[in-house]
Structure 1
Amino acid sequence: MPADIDIVIVNWNAGDMLRDCVQSALDTGNDLLSKIIIVDNGSTDQSLDRLPEDARIVVVRTGENLGFGRACNRGAALGSSRFLLFLNPDTRLYPTTLADVCSFMDSAAAQRVGVCGIRLIEDGGAIQQHTTQYPGPLNIYRVDSFRTPFDHKSDRNVAHVIGAFYFIRRDVFTRVNGFDERFFVYFEDLDISRRVTQAGWTIFYLSTASSYHKGGGTSDSIKARRLFYSLTSRLQYAQKHFSTAGYLTVLAMTLTVEPAMRLVRALANRSGAEAQETIGAYRLLLGPEGPFRSRRRH
């Protein structure tokens, strides 16, 4: 089979996880792998210095944090293979991962499949329940409330697969104009899945292919800002995809009920850190960086 896959990895201080992820792709890509394009969003941890040497690795140093979707689009533009794999640095591919997915996507059964996700294995061997339905104004607040209710041990069409391993046909990615760069991080994968299905393609969960996924990503150390990004992207998603009434419902809940509940929970847990994270996130949300000021992040 020809070199049909370009892998795009967005790195932000991923440490040794980036090296391990890239090495696993090199070890398992065989003739399928064309390029591994690493878009580095201004890392300061020397994670790029630990990469293996291979002619297929392309490194883009942005010098700043562009956000996930914008970085993915930049990386995708540097390749030309039929398939794109957007891969988190906290993943590791198994020996047959790429071959299994590529074989399925080239099969007659997958002619209308635009995006494929796979079984993701956590530490300890648990299968991540990562596919979701599309949320509405009343259940967008917690991913558990709109997660697809099945054990992830069988194949099926789904509404959305997590962006940690997001395998998409390049022509489909081009047709839907890639990721919406208004989402700095979070909800950008849910948004593109929605646009893929609106364009007439299906999204498939392939249980017979698998890889490791740590989960939690590389933002564990900046919880207040991570919450801020999540709240902002949620509001952006609601404004883009819900009715005016639906968006206003999400806005009201986000600004009133949610912070109160988070602070009550922090008090019940006797966690000053949790309270500070909530207060810090909402200060950012209502401040100059937030979605309510004219100076928005793009």
Structure 2
Amino acid sequence: MDISIIIVNYRGWNALDECLESIDTIVSKTVTFETIIVDNCSNDGLFTVFKQKYSKFTFIENSGNNGFSNGCNFGASIAKGNYFFFLNPDTKLTFEALETLLQTSILHPEIGILSCLQINENNVFYKQNNLFPTLGSFFGISRFIFKKLNKVKLQKRFNNNNTLFYPDWVTGAVVFVSREWFNKINGWNEDYWLYFEDVDLCKKISLVKGKVAVTRETTIFHQHGGASRLNIKTKALTKTEVIISKHVYIKNQFSTGIQIYLHSLLIIGVFSEKIFLSLLSLFLFFIPKLKVNRLILKNLSVYYFNAIQKQTWISPRAMNYKKLDY
């Protein structure tokens, strides 16, 4: 088996349906592949429906909504392919993309993680000149200043006509990696429930001298947020997890002194912003989007209380948090 396509789903059935339809139309005599869908316990009755509709694909149910990293590792644990292709359910795949990613990986074994161009429903290409968060570029303002100061250097790095370009990290929506590289870094880090796990994965690849690359030779459709931001409550949850995952990344990637500095700045900044916007939402109650901030503030208050109690920054939803109780 050449490729194992691994898709993690949680109640994103509409997007997943279009994704699986695109895969179902692929016929190839040169590339062998399987498709594995890991459902993170959607528990809404549609798992069986999809399993019957796409009977030639492999559907497995997770023990709970254990997060993206855990779902990816679960899928990889039963995969038969020499290459793992982690794909979001809100994408559409073509044979051209599948073949290009495989051939590029074969021709460039030094590439640990490969991705490709991504385009949304408005025909806009996603920016993929992603850099690892550093002490001087972790927050929005400092990141803006860093990019301005290094504008010429970054333009030279990314604005070229080469077939391949090399960002520090690529989004988890489209990740192509060989089994060998995947095993070398022990897979996805299950400290993360959602967000920043892709940054962490690419960081681990770079630490073992692998390259992270994007090929310009093919493009995949990706509807950003199409499977995660379904309503206000879900939006508040996902935005909360972005903040939580920042804390986890700080803990995993920085020295103790820098950790204290970044954790403190993040907490102060987030609470200041969310308290202000929550108070504003009481007066501007006719703007529904502002209500999200009250939910985020509530979620974060619970998280920080648990972080102090458990002495860990890991999200309570993440698999490695659950292992703390064993």
> 1:38 is matched with which residue?
37
Tell me, which stretches of 5 or more residues in structure 1 are unaligned? none
Question: In the TM superposition, what whole-angstrom CA distance separates every residue of 1:165-187 from its partner, at most 9, and x where no partner exists?
Answer: 00011100001100111111111
**Distance in 2 separating the partners of 1:47 and 1:89:** 15
Following TM superposition, the consecutive aligned residue runs of length 4 or more in structure 1 with deviations greater than 4 angstroms are 142-154, 265-269
Question: In the TM superposition, what whole-angstrom CA distance separates every residue of 1:225-272 from its partner, at most 9, and x where no partner exists?
Answer: 212211221111111111112211221112112221244356668454
Question: 1:1-298 alignment to 2 at 5 Å?
Answer: 3-28=1-26, 30-31=28-29, 32-48=31-47, 49-50=49-50, 52-55=53-56, 57-107=57-107, 110-142=108-140, 150=158, 155-220=164-229, 221=231, 222-265=234-277, 270=284, 271=287, 272-288=290-306, 290=307, 293-294=310-311, 296=316, 297-298=321-322
Using a 3 Å threshold, how does the CA distance of structure 1 residues 165 and 15 change in structure 2: closer, same or farther?
same
Give the conservation status (yes or no) of the 8 Å contact 2:6–2:38. yes
Give the conservation status (yes or no) of the 8 Å contact 1:137–1:238. no
SS of alignment partner, residue 10 of structure 1: strand
Q: CA deviation at 1:287?
A: 3.8
**Distance in 2 separating the partners of 1:66 and 1:152:** 40
2:268 partner letter: T
Q: Larger Cα Rg: Structure 1 or Structure 2?
A: 2
> 2:151 is matched with which residue?
none
Give the conservation status (yes or no) of the 8 Å contact 1:94–1:212. no
2:178 partner letter: R
Question: In the TM superposition, what whole-angstrom CA distance separates every residue of 1:176-214 from its partner, at most 9, and x where no partner exists?
Answer: 100111111111111110111111111111011111000
**Distance in 1 separating the partners of 2:118 and 2:13:** 21
Q: CA deviation at 1:293?
A: 2.3
**Distance in 2 separating the partners of 1:263 and 1:28:** 50
Give the conservation status (yes or no) of the 8 Å contact 1:28–1:98. no
Tell me, which stretches of 5 or more residues in structure 2 are unaligned? 148-153
**Distance in 2 separating the partners of 1:47 and 1:291:** 38
**Distance in 1 separating the partners of 2:100 and 2:175:** 14
2:4 partner letter: D
Question: In the TM superposition, what whole-angstrom CA distance separates every residue of 1:109-140 from its partner, at most 9, and x where no partner exists?
Answer: x1311111100011111001134111013433
Using a 3 Å threshold, how does the CA distance of structure 1 residues 226 and 152 change in structure 2: closer, same or farther?
farther
SS of alignment partner, residue 100 of structure 1: helix
Using a 3 Å threshold, how does the CA distance of structure 1 residues 9 and 274 change in structure 2: closer, same or farther?
same
**Distance in 2 separating the partners of 1:127 and 1:160:** 17
2:70 partner letter: R
Q: CA deviation at 1:50?
A: 3.4
Give the conservation status (yes or no) of the 8 Å contact 1:86–1:163. yes
Using a 3 Å threshold, how does the CA distance of structure 1 residues 75 and 261 change in structure 2: closer, same or farther?
same
Q: Percent identity?
A: 21
Question: In the TM superposition, what whole-angstrom CA distance separates every residue of 1:80-101 from its partner, at most 9, and x where no partner exists?
Answer: 2111010000111134110111
TM-score relative to the length of structure 1: 0.88
Bigger share in helix: 2
Give the conservation status (yes or no) of the 8 Å contact 2:113–2:177. yes
2:292 partner letter: E
Q: CA deviation at 1:58?
A: 1.0
2:13 partner letter: G
TM-score relative to the length of structure 2: 0.81
SS of alignment partner, residue 125 of structure 1: coil
**Distance in 2 separating the partners of 1:257 and 1:133:** 22
Question: In the TM superposition, what whole-angstrom CA distance separates every residue of 1:27-53 from its partner, at most 9, and x where no partner exists?
Answer: 236242422111110113444323543
